[in-house]
Structures are given as C-alpha cells and as structure tokens.
C-alpha cells in the first residue's frame, strides 16, 4: 500500500504520518463503495474528494486531469470521488503523483477540496458519467448521462407527482393538449413564450430540486443560478413542437434534466440536416452556444421510438423533464435591436446578464465573420511573446479564433475563450484551447510562465469584474511570470496620430450609421450609448454595433447588426486597476493603436 503514497519530501514527519492515516481511512471508504484499489499503478486513477458530491467544478477538473495525458473523466455521481481513465499507466502515474494533495476551490463554498489519489484495478461499470461532448450533437449541446442515480430520479418523480396531484399557490400546473406542465418561479406564458417579470410566483423554486441545482451549478457552465423551472410531463404519444427558448426573456445557458422514459429530441436549423438525439433518463442537457441560440428542439408525438438506425424499437412510458431557466429582469437587455434602452450595470447580476446577452451570445453568433477579420496579429503582441524565454508556457485568455496561438512556435501556447463557437474554430485549427469565463479560470495557480489577454477586459461590465479578470491572470502565472493586457482606449488618437479604427472611416463611409445615443441619466441611472463605428467615443460604457456578414453564405445577403458591450479605458485607468492588486507590478504601460496596454509581473 505504501507504494501508492508518494508524499512530498518536504513534508514534516508528523504531517506525513497524519496524511498517511487519513489516506488509509479514505482508502477504506473507497473500498466500502466497492472500488478495488490497486497497490500498483494502473491506467485508472480514482481521486478522492473530486466528485460532484464535493462541489468540484467538473470543467475545471476535466482541464486539470487532462494536463497529464489523454483521458476520460468518469464520474461516479453523487459520490465524493472522481475516476479518470488514462490511455496508459504512465500518464495515470504522472497524474496521481502530481495531484496528490492538490487543493481545488469548491464551487459553492469558500473552501478547498484536498485530493487523494489511488489506482483502480477495475473500471466501475455502474453509474458512470461520460462527460464528453459527442460529435453527433448540435454544436454547443452538452450531454451528461447518468447525472443522477436511480434513487434520486425516483425521489424527484415522487415529488413531481405529488405537485401534479395538488393545487397549490407555489406552482402553476396546466394540462396542455400534448403534455402537462408545472411552472415554478415564474409562470411560462405559452402565447408569447415568455414570463411576466413583474409577477413572480412567491414561493420560488421547490426545495426538492435544490441539490440537483447545486450539482448543475457545479458543472461550471451556468453563469447564474436559474430562477424559473418548467416541468413537462409527457405521456406516451405526447410531444413538444420545435422551438428555440425565447432569448429575450431567458438568459444564457438552459439546462434540462430527464426522468422516467427515454425519448428522442429532434434538433433542426435552416440549412442544416436534422439531428435526432436519444435522451436517456437521468441525463442532463446543457444548451449552450449554437444549440441554445440557433437550433430549434422538439419532441415528436409518438408512442415509440426507433433507435440504433432502425434496429431497436422502444416504447415510451411517462417522461418528466425539468427545464431550468434564468429570467432576464430588464426585458430590454437581451437580443440586439438598437431601439431598446440599456443601462450601465450597477451590480453583479445586471453585469452578468449584460455580458451574457451583449458579449457572449454575440460572439457565438458572429464567430465566423469575426474570425475572418481577426487574422493578422498585432506586432507589439508578437514582440511581447518573442521576448519571453524559449519554451515558455503561455495562456492566451480570450484567445478568440486563435490569432496568437500559432505565431510563436518556440512556446507552448494554450488558448481559452468564453465563446464556444470561437473555440470550435481554434479546434479546427488544431490549437489547444478550451471554453471558460475569464473571471474564473479553470487552471492551477502559477501554472503559466506568461499570459496574454488581448481586447478582452473591456467586455467586463463593472470595475469589480475587470479587477477580478486581472487577478485571475495573476493567479494563473508563476511568481516572476509576465502578463500582457490590451484594452480599447477612449482616446483614439495618440501624438496626433489617428488609430487604424478611426482612419478606416474614410473607406467605410457606406457603413451603417446608427443614431449615436449620448448618455443622459434616466431615473438616476446612466444609459449605455450606442456607438457610431469609426467615430470618437462619446462615453466609456457603450454598445458597439457589429454588422455581421454570413461568411459561409455565397449570396452574402444575410446580414444583421449585433451590439457588443464595451467599457473603453481612459489614460492611466488600466494601470490604476492593476495597482490595486497585490503581487502585481506594472513593468510598462503604453498606448498602441487605440488601445491601452500594460505589461505586468507577478511579484
Ligand atoms: O422535455 C424536454 O426535454 C424539453 C422541454 C423544453 O424544450 C421546454 O420546456 O422548453
Ligand atoms: Fe425548450
């Protein structure tokens, strides 16, 4: 057994003994769960305290464990451990030794989970979650099978059946023509496919879904905790017409948990082949990116489904689905019509929904066109990368479609971005990259020699968030590590030289000009101005139009305007944010073509 434990040599003897004792206890617990712990390294690592039950973020964990080699994260749901299957024993050994004693911040509490690693000599067959994105799903749809176990499923069904059977003020139940629905938090209005934000149901979401919702939050995909729940009950022969859940009323990611019968969900989108996705009971679907905004989903009214390419016919029984949504509180915030009014956010929740509707979802929609205009690297950014010691490990936070990921072959470059569609483009280019929010980077402290963050932090809608984004960059690099940040400047001329952005005015006179909307206080709140492209900025917080061409369509006729939120920086503002952060030393600060830039060092 002692071969399993490789504790760090720096530990004191007493601490080492305590750890060994603790580890033996944990080992006994794992064995009690039926896991066969092997004294010798195998290709399967079990990490105690890294399970969904420990509130560890699965996306963060996935990125962490994959640093040591090709692997699949198998999670035994509800339990307090994770199982990682590596391609070979060597990688597994590397991971187990590196992750021993690793501490990860838990999702919902301000606490750490301390990892203990063991080897398994059997891969558990029961209750395994493959948190893999499958290629036969619409882009952005994340399917996690066995998200809950059978007992949890039955307990939820019992609660739902009880709610259906009683008339109560805390939910609204309705028998529709082709299914029965229950609404919590807000009543869903089928005529307009929205909710009345002024009329919430006072009881909120039912208590019995809180644990489930904690677990959904722990996946790390949802920007905020949902406040509306629709439960659909489908009898055999029931269905739901193809639709896209209203993006004006509901923010960001949707999550749906299935209980009872299997079903088949059909995804459709103009110009794309229909995708039929088999929905097993106990599966969680996260509708992100394209699957949320561009695809319709529906369920045909049938009593049976034909699966496995016609080989299997399965009869439907009663199915329940729980769809969690987050209601947009200021109804004018989502979507992209310019006539609506938008306010400068004053709190985190407003900032979160503004970023979701006017940054994340816009980039997901304009990704192809955006990428085609962002190919040429900026020289001073390349210069910074080249100034780093050879073979540096560099993280590009907000890498977009990978503009800088291929420019410096002498380094190891890793990219991340909040936009699923932009990361898909990086992946097509074979750039190592992943999706995450820069406010919470799923990386270990000090893992990088350097970070770049180009044209990203101007998309955070409060100063607190801009500082948090810089703090995360500092956390990601080691002491002595360098960081380069670029943010758009309100000053678009420097030493009387116009930035390229302004200069382009001459050749883009046929650009659409939307009425510039200078902020005037409205009920004491400042409005966001809609900026006129290629002109001087009238204020710091703005919506900047992006006229999108569909680069994939031959006709080039399909064109729409989206508004992206920006906070353009004043001279010294970026420096001053950095100086509020301990361990941050500003090495250099400069203006580059309409951007304020800083080079930082972690001290
Ligand atoms: O039953 C499902 O899985 C889907 C439900 C749904 O799409 C909805 O309620 O909007
Ligand atoms: Fe839906």
Is any atom of ligand 1 closer than 6 Å to the C-beta of 245? yes
In this predicted model, what pLDDT tens digit does every residue of 474-506 receive, in sequence order? 999 999 999 999 999 998 888 778 888 876 654
Q: Taking 50 as the threshold, does the pLDDT of residue 107 lie above it?
A: yes
CA dist., res. 566 & res. 581, Å (int):
22
C-alpha 179 – ligand 1 centre gap (Å): 11
C-alpha 371 – ligand 1 centre gap (Å): 33
> In a 3-state reduction of DSSP, which class is residue 2?
coil
**Ligand 1, atom 6: closest residue by C-alpha:** 323
Cα 242 to its chain centre, rounded Å, is: 25
Per-residue pLDDT averaged across 101-105, rounded? 86
Is any atom of ligand 1 closer than 6 Å to the C-beta of 392? no
In this predicted model, what pLDDT tens digit does every residue of 265-297 receive, in sequence order? 999 988 888 998 999 999 999 998 888 888 999
CA dist., res. 451 & res. 415, Å (int):
10
Is any atom of ligand 1 closer than 6 Å to the C-beta of 107? no
Which of 181, 279, 297, 322 to mutate to test ligand 1, by most ligand atoms within 8 A of the CB atom?
297
Is any atom of ligand 1 closer than 6 Å to the C-beta of 548? no
Is any atom of ligand 1 closer than 6 Å to the C-beta of 194? no
Q: Band the pLDDT of 339: cuts 50, 70, 90.
A: very low
Q: What is the pLDDT of residue 551?
A: 58
Q: What is the pLDDT of residue 505?
A: 53
Of the listed ranges 17-21, 193-197, 478-482, the one predicted with least confidence: 193-197
Is 13-130 assigned to CATH 3.30.70.330?
yes
Q: Which of the 8 DSSP states describes residue 570? A: P
Domain with CATH 3.40.50.150 in the chain: 372-490+572-602
C-alpha 50 – ligand 1 centre gap (Å): 31
State percent of the chain over pLDDT 70.
85
State percent of the chain over pLDDT 90.
46
Q: Band the pLDDT of 355: cuts 50, 70, 90.
A: very high
Atom of ligand 1 nearest to the CA of 188: 9
- In three-state form (DSSP H/G/I as H, E/B as E, the rest C), the secondary structure along 417-460 is ECCHHHHHHHHHCCCCEEECCCCCCCCCCCCEEEEEEECCHHHC
Is any atom of ligand 1 closer than 6 Å to the C-beta of 323? yes
Q: What is the pLDDT of residue 283?
A: 93
C-alpha 187 – ligand 1 centre gap (Å): 15
Is any atom of ligand 1 closer than 6 Å to the C-beta of 62? no
Atom of ligand 1 nearest to the CA of 232: 1
Q: Taking 60 as the threshold, does the pLDDT of residue 557 lie above it?
A: no
Count Cβ neighbours within 10 Å for each residue of 81-103 and write b for 16 or more, e otherwise.
bbbbbbeebebbbbbbebbbebe
Domain with CATH 2.60.120.1520 in the chain: 141-327
**Ligand 1, atom 2: closest residue by C-alpha:** 321
C-alpha 245 – ligand 2 centre gap (Å): 5
H/E element holding 138?
none
Q: Band the pLDDT of 539: cuts 50, 70, 90.
A: confident
Of the listed ranges 31-45, 50-64, 514-528, 585-599, the one predicted with least confidence: 514-528
C-alpha 321 – ligand 1 centre gap (Å): 7
Q: Taking 60 as the threshold, does the pLDDT of residue 4 lie above it?
A: no
Q: Taking 60 as the threshold, does the pLDDT of residue 244 lie above it?
A: yes
Q: What is the pLDDT of residue 289?
A: 80
Q: Which residue has the tokens 């269905």?
A: 239
Q: Taking 50 as the threshold, does the pLDDT of residue 507 lie above it?
A: no
Per-residue pLDDT averaged across 181-196, rounded? 83
Is any atom of ligand 1 closer than 6 Å to the C-beta of 232? yes
C-alpha 62 – ligand 1 centre gap (Å): 28
Q: Taking 90 as the threshold, does the pLDDT of residue 431 lie above it?
A: yes
Q: Taking 60 as the threshold, does the pLDDT of residue 10 lie above it?
A: no
Identify residues whose C-beta is under 5 A from ligand 2, the ion. 245
Atom of ligand 1 nearest to the CA of 321: 1
Q: What is the pLDDT of residue 233?
A: 96
**Superfamily of segment(s) 372-490+572-602:** Vaccinia Virus protein VP39 (3.40.50.150)
Q: Taking 70 as the threshold, does the pLDDT of residue 338 lie above it?
A: no
In this predicted model, what pLDDT tens digit does every residue of 292-316 receive, in sequence order? 888 999 999 988 887 766 556 788 9
Q: Taking 60 as the threshold, does the pLDDT of residue 133 lie above it?
A: no
Identify the nearest ligand to the CA of 188 by its number: 1
Q: Taking 50 as the threshold, does the pLDDT of residue 515 lie above it?
A: no
Of the listed ranges 36-40, 446-450, 569-573, the one predicted with least confidence: 36-40
Q: What is the pLDDT of residue 108?
A: 64
Per-residue pLDDT averaged across 329-338, rounded? 45
Q: Taking 70 as the threshold, does the pLDDT of residue 132 lie above it?
A: no
Q: Which of the 8 DSSP states describes residue 43? A: S
In this predicted model, what pLDDT tens digit does every residue of 248-267 receive, in sequence order? 788 878 999 999 999 999 99
H/E element holding 577?
helix 573-579
C-alpha 350 – ligand 2 centre gap (Å): 24
Is any atom of ligand 1 closer than 6 Å to the C-beta of 261? no
Domain with CATH 3.30.70.330 in the chain: 13-130
Identify the nearest ligand to the CA of 179 by its number: 1
Q: Band the pLDDT of 587: cuts 50, 70, 90.
A: very high
Asked if residues 420 and 364 have their Cβ atoms less than 8 Å apart, the reply is yes
**Ligand 1, atom 1: closest residue by C-alpha:** 321
Q: What is the pLDDT of residue 134?
A: 40
Is any atom of ligand 1 closer than 6 Å to the C-beta of 256? yes
C-alpha 101 – ligand 2 centre gap (Å): 42
Which of 188, 276, 299 to mutate to test ligand 1, by most ligand atoms within 8 A of the CB atom?
299
Q: Taking 70 as the threshold, does the pLDDT of residue 149 lie above it?
A: yes
141-327 folds as Jelly Rolls (2.60.120)
Is any atom of ligand 1 closer than 6 Å to the C-beta of 321? yes
Q: Which residue has the higher pLDDT, 401 or 221?
A: 401
ipTM for this model: 0.99
Q: What is the pLDDT of residue 56?
A: 79
CA dist., res. 282 & res. 280, Å (int):
6
Identify the nearest ligand to the CA of 260 by its number: 1
C-alpha 365 – ligand 1 centre gap (Å): 23
Q: Taking 60 as the threshold, does the pLDDT of residue 60 lie above it?
A: yes
Is any atom of ligand 1 closer than 6 Å to the C-beta of 238? no
Is any atom of ligand 1 closer than 6 Å to the C-beta of 54? no
**Ligand 1, atom 8: closest residue by C-alpha:** 323
In this predicted model, what pLDDT tens digit does every residue of 372-426 receive, in sequence order? 888 889 999 999 999 999 999 999 999 999 999 999 999 999 999 999 899 999 9
C-alpha 297 – ligand 2 centre gap (Å): 6
C-alpha 232 – ligand 1 centre gap (Å): 7
H/E element holding 129?
strand 128-130
Q: What is the pLDDT of residue 97?
A: 94
Of 13, 14, 25, whose CA–CA distance to 116 is shortest? 25
In this predicted model, what pLDDT tens digit does every residue of 438-478 receive, in sequence order? 998 989 999 999 999 999 999 999 999 999 999 999 999 99
Contacts of residue 542, Cβ cutoff 8 Å, sequence gap at least 6: 528, 529, 530, 531, 565, 566, 567, 568
Q: Where are the alpha helices (DSSP H) in 512-553?
A: none
C-alpha 468 – ligand 2 centre gap (Å): 34
Q: Which residue has the tokens 């680069």?
A: 551
Q: What is the pLDDT of residue 299?
A: 94
Q: What is the pLDDT of residue 248?
A: 77
């Amino acid at each position: 057994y002692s071969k399993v434990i490789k504790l760090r040599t720096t530990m004191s003897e007493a601490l080492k003994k305590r750890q060994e004792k603790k580890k033996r206890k944990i080992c006994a617990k794992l064995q009690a769960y039926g896991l066969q712990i092997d004294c010798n390294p195998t290709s399967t690592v079990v990490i105690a305290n890294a399970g969904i039950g420990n509130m560890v973020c699965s996306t963060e964990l996935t990125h962490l464990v994959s640093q040591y080699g090709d692997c699949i994260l198998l999670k035994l749901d509800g339990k307090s451990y994770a199982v990682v299957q590596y391609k070979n024993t060597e990688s597994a050994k590397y991971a187990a030794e590196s992750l021993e004693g690793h501490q990860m911040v838990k999702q919902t509490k301000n606490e750490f989970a301390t990892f203990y690693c063991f080897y398994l000599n059997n891969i558990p067959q029961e209750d395994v979650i493959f948190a893999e994105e499958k290629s036969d799903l619409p882009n952005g749809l994340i399917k996690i099978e066995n998200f809950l176990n059978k007992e949890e499923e039955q307990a939820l069904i019992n609660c739902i059946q009880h709610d259906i059977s009683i008339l109560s003020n805390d939910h609204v139940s309705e028998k529709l023509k082709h299914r029965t629905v229950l609404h919590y938090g807000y009543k869903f209005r089928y005529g307009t496919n929205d909710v009345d934000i002024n009329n919430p149901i006072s009881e909120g979401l039912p208590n019995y879904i809180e644990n489930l919702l904690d677990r959904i939050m722990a996946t790390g995909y949802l920007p905020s905790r949902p406040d509306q729940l629709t439960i659909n009950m489908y009898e055999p022969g029931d269905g739901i017409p193809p639709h896209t859940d209203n993006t004006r009323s509901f923010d960001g990611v949707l999550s749906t948990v299935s209980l009872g019968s299997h079903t088949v969900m059909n995804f459709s989108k103009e110009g794309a082949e229909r995708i039929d996705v088999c929905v097993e009971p106990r599966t969680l679907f996260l509708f992100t990116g394209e699957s949320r905004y561009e695809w319709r989903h529906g369920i045909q009214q049938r009593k049976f489904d034909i699966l496995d390419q016609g080989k299997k016919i399965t009869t439907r029984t009663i199915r329940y689905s729980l769809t969690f949504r987050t209601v947009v509180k200021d109804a004018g915030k989502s979507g992209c019509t310019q006539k609506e009014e938008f306010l400068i956010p004053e709190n985190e929740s407003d900032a979160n929904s503004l970023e979701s509707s006017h940054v994340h979802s816009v980039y997901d929609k304009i990704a192809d066109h955006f990428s085609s205009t962002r190919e040429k690297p900026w020289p001073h950014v390349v210069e910074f990368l080249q100034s780093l010691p050879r073979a540096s490990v560099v993280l590009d936070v907000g890498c977009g479609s990978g503009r800088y990921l291929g420019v410096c072959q002498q380094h190891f470059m890793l990219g991340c971005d909040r936009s699923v569609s932009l990361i898909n483009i990086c992946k097509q280019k074979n750039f190592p990259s992943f999706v995450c929010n820069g406010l919470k980077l799923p990386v270990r402290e000090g893992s990088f020699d350097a970070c770049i963050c180009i044209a990203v932090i101007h998309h955070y809608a409060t100063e607190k968030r801009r500082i948090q984004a810089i703090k995360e960059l500092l956390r990601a690099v080691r002491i002595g590590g360098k960081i380069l940040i670029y943010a758009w400047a309100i000053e678009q001329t420097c030493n009387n030289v116009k930035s390229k952005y302004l200069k382009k005015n001459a050749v883009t006179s046929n650009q659409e000009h939307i009425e510039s909307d200078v902020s005037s206080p409205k009920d004491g709140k400042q409005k966001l101005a809609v900026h006129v492209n290629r002109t001087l900025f009238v204020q710091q917080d703005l919506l900047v139009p992006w006229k999108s061409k569909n680069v994939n369509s031959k006709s080039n006729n399909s064109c729409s305007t989206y508004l992206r939120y920006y906070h353009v920086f004043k001279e010294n503002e970026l420096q001053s944010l950095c100086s509020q952060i301990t361990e941050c030393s500003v090495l250099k600060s400069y203006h580059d073509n309409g951007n304020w830039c800083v080079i930082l060092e972690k001290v």
